[in-house]
Amino acid sequence: MISRAEAIAELERRIGHAFADRDLLDRALTHASVGNGSAKIRDNERLEFLGDRVLNLVVAESLIQQKPDAQEGDLSRAMSQLVNYHACAVVARAAGVREALRFDASASKVGARDNDRVLGDACEALIAALYLDGGIDSARRFILEFWTEAFAGVDAPERKDPKTLLNEWAMGQGKPAPRYRVLATEGAAHAPRFTVEAQVEGFAPSTAAAGSKKEAEKLAAERLLAAHGALS
């Protein structure tokens, strides 16, 4: 596994920005688990707050430019597709944030590095760091580059929720509604990890883990559908 210093260098290479303020970058990549909330340890939560506002501004600005005839409701729906922790987590992985993050050992042990909500928050903190270090143009450049694919998919038909699909599939098999059961809950309050089982009567269950019960249920439903060739 590469060192954190190498991961940070790779992150800067991917995003095309060398930080003048190294402490700012380190803070953007430091999870709240480090130091157990000590005031001496500056984590990325305040940067996340700012980054969320910068991200919303840049995405809204871009949507207005790309969709000059769209109504407010259509723009709001597009915003909800583009600005959420799942979309931010996808970008965090693509940019190399996952490998560069700094965690407390216990948080890392329970899978915080692969938690979409944690990665999404870190992505927003990075956006704030880019804004503070290089100005709005640096933040905008990063967002428009790494959200290119997401923008392209805004007008695509919305895919049904995996739990809805599993329910429909179970009904088609003449079975009762699927059941979901929490098998394990791990991690601290700031980085929980839920393992959930999805089961349809007469079929082998599937399990999945995520940072929320709702997300774990979705993933388990998706895996169960995939196991039976029913994932559209």
Catalytic residues: 52, 124
Nearest to 197 by CA among 213, 186, 177, 211: 213
Tokens encoding 96: 């190399």
What residues have CB less than 8 Å from 21, skipping those under 6 apart?
Answer: 129, 132, 133
Residue 185, burial from CB neighbour count under 10 angstroms (0-12, 13-18, 19+):
exposed
Nearest to 115 by CA among 6, 32, 13: 32
* Angle between helix 45-66 and helix 116-134 axes, rounded to 10 deg: 80
Tokens encoding 41: 């340890």
179: β partners: 199
How far apart are the C-alpha atoms of 118 and 112, rounded to whole Å?
7
Residue 16: CA count within 13 A, CB half-sphere: 10
